[in-house]
């Protein structure tokens, strides 16, 4: 079933998107990411090994329907082929550097990529059986949002479509082995997905087509790269993919938003809202707006009124997710209390804009975007400084860390 869906998605990807995908694959090869059981280019390896197409189908069944990624456990493959594949194909292109599990069951992973870069992915279990993966699209981020640990790290590189897809696929395989299934995927990890749009769109298409996650349960979150919001609307329609869109808003005036989100200086709220109206008109879908509630900053009556007025033109196709701030090093804000969050929702309702206060997940394990990688980077800097100081005892490692 999954294989059929995969073929169907491949068939509907429109020519422009397909051309971009070829360019993407060239970039993937250029950065020499290893071929894995999850790679799009696995079929090329099998072709080179002069295997019949049904071998690819068998491998995909093991990986995506049974959660088996070890070739030696794929019992319907000849031993000789297993041996060749073990030489040429890796089980994964990334290793788990650390994993933390929260009291609420949220599992957060720090993943080391083939070139040593670090990213994060998170799996969140819910009591209604949903299993949501939150995945990264870039190493670091160039957008510079002041409240975000990833933004404070700076940009390192884009992830390839394979690397993005693999984060969700690994969770999917693990859940399958436990008799569960991955139900939702959100692109809310490290990076700005619309700054790595082609790879993100290709990975999202494969998550739907290969992992069997419903397109409506795959949500791409952006800080508001307005021209790409329009392109995303067009591509969703052209490819008949009803992917979800979330916009990180956090402030409803240009002055306030520009102060915490530099993207607003390039694409202001007027331009962003025009693009959002285009998206809702073209796709017929609603948009989720993310609002991190920061005590005393953006949780008052005036901000609620501004937000209500901003979203009213979307005519019921807007929903606000209110998330008490996840505090990060370097940003002094504190989360809003429960009572103030509820009254913010009530004020929004006067404008016909529904809002929901979301529970912060994994708060005891730094599950906010970039926090784990930020912590790991700091530890690596500390270790480097300690090694350097050991070589040169006149240098103070503590000073090297904090300079
Ligand atoms: S919030 Fe998102 S876009 Fe902004 S710096 Fe963090 S990762 Fe980048």
Q: Are residues 211 and 295 in the same domain?
A: yes
> Ligand 1 centroid to 141 CA: how many Å?
6
Percent of the chain residues past pLDDT 70, beyond the cut: 79
Distance (Å) of CA 271 to CA 16, 264, 353: 25, 9, 20
Q: 79 CA to middle of ligand 1, Å?
A: 47
pTM over 0.85: no
Q: How many angstroms is it from 222 CA to the middle of ligand 1?
A: 8
The answer to whether 77 touches 71, Cβ cutoff 8 Å, is yes
Is residue 385 over pLDDT 50? no
Establish if 98 belongs to a structural domain. yes
**Are 150 and 166 in the same domain?**
yes
**236 and 347 housed in the same domain:** yes
Q: Is the shortest distance between the CB of 145 and ligand 1 below 6 Å?
A: yes
Q: Are residues 84 and 98 in the same domain?
A: no
Rounded CA separation 85/79 (Å): 10
Q: For a substitution probing ligand 1, which of 140, 143, 196, 251 has the most ligand atoms within 8 Å of its CB? A: 143
Decide if 386 is inside a domain.
no
Contact 269, 299 (CB under 8 A): no
CB 265 within 8 A of CB 226: no
CA distances from 380 to 3, 5, 116, 157, 393 (A): 42, 43, 12, 19, 19
- Which positions are annotated as active-site residues? 120, 369
Phi, then psi, of 179 in degrees rounded to 5: 80, 20
- Mutating to test ligand 1, I would choose from 122, 150, 221, 263 the residue with most ligand atoms within 8 A of its C-beta, which is 150
Question: 237: which 2 tokens?
Answer: 């329609």
Q: Kindly report, residue by residue over 253-280, the tens digit of the pLDDT.
A: 999 999 999 999 999 999 999 999 999 9
Q: Whose CA is nearest to atom 5 of ligand 1?
A: 151
Please list, in sequence order, all residues whose beta carbon lies within 8 angstroms of the beta carbon of residue 2, skipping any fewer than 6 positions away. 60, 64, 65, 209, 210, 211, 212
Question: Is 389 among the domain residues?
Answer: no
Asked if residues 126 and 183 have their Cβ atoms less than 8 Å apart, the reply is: no
Choose one of 139, 195, 223, 262 to mutate for the ligand 1 pocket test, by most ligand atoms within 8 angstroms of C-beta: 223
The boundaries of the domain holding residue 49 are 2-88
The mean pLDDT of the chain is: 84
Do both 17 and 135 map to the same domain? no
The pLDDT value recorded for residue 389 is 43
Lowest mean pLDDT across 183-187, 316-320, 326-330, 333-337: 326-330
Q: Please indicate, yes or no, whether residues 164 and 244 belong to a single structural domain of this protein.
A: yes
Same domain flag for 172 and 309: yes
Would you say the C-alpha torsion 234, 240, 241, 242 has a positive or negative sign? Answer: positive
User: Rounded to the nearest whole angstrom, what is the distance from the C-alpha of residue 66 to the centroid of ligand 1?
Assistant: 35
Residues 73 and 161 in one domain: no
Written as one string, the DSSP assignment of 113-135 is: ETTS-EEEEEEEE-TTS-EEEE-
Q: How many domains does the chain have?
A: 2
Write the CATH number for 51.
1.10.150.530
Same domain as 107, residue 77: no
Considering only CA atoms, which of 351, 357, 360, 376 is closest in space to residue 109? 376
């Amino acid at each position: 079933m999954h294989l059929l869906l995969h073929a169907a998605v491949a068939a509907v990807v429109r020519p422009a998107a397909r051309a971009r995908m070829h360019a993407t694959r060239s970039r993937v090869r250029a950065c020499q990411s290893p071929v894995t059981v999850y790679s799009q280019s696995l079929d090329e390896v099998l072709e080179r090994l002069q295997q019949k197409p049904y071998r690819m189908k068998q491998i995909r069944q093991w990986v995506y329907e049974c959660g088996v990624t070890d070739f030696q456990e794929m019992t319907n493959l000849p031993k000789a082929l297993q041996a060749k594949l073990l030489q040429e194909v890796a089980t994964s292109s990334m290793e788990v550097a650390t994993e933390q599990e929260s009291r609420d069951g949220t599992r957060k992973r720090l993943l080391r990529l083939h070139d040593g870069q670090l990213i994060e992915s998170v799996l969140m279990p819910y009591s209604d059986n949903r299993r949501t993966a939150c995945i990264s699209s870039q190493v670091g981020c160039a957008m510079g949002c002041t409240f975000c640990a990833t933004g404070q790290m700076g940009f390192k590189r884009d992830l390839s479509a394979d690397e993005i897809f693999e984060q969700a696929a690994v969770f999917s395989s693990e859940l399958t082995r436990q008799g569960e299934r991955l139900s939702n995927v959100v692109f809310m990890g490290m990076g700005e997905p619309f700054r790595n749009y082609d790879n993100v769109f290709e990975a999202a298409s494969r998550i739907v087509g290969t992992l069997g996650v419903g397109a409506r349960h795959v949500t791409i979150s952006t800080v508001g790269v307005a021209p790409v919001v329009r392109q995303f609307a067009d591509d969703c329609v052209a490819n008949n993919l009803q992917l979800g869109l979330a916009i990180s808003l956090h402030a409803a005036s240009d002055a306030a938003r520009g102060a915490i989100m530099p993207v607003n200086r390039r694409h202001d709220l007027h331009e962003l809202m025009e693009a959002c109206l285009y998206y809702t008109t073209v796709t017929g879908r609603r948009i989720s707006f993310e609002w991190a509630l920061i005590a005393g900053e953006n949780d008052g009556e005036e901000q609620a009124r501004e937000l209500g007025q901003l979203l009213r033109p979307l005519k019921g196709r807007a929903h606000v997710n209110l998330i008490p701030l996840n505090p990060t090093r370097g940003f002094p804000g504190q989360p809003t209390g429960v009572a103030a969050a509820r009254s913010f929702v009530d004020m929004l309702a006067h404008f016909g804009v529904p809002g929901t206060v979301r529970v912060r997940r994994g708060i005891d394990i730094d599950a906010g975007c970039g926090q784990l990688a930020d912590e790991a980077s700091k530890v690596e800097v500390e270790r480097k400084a300690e090694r350097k100081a050991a070589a040169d005892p006149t240098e103070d490692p503590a000073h090297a860390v904090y300079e």
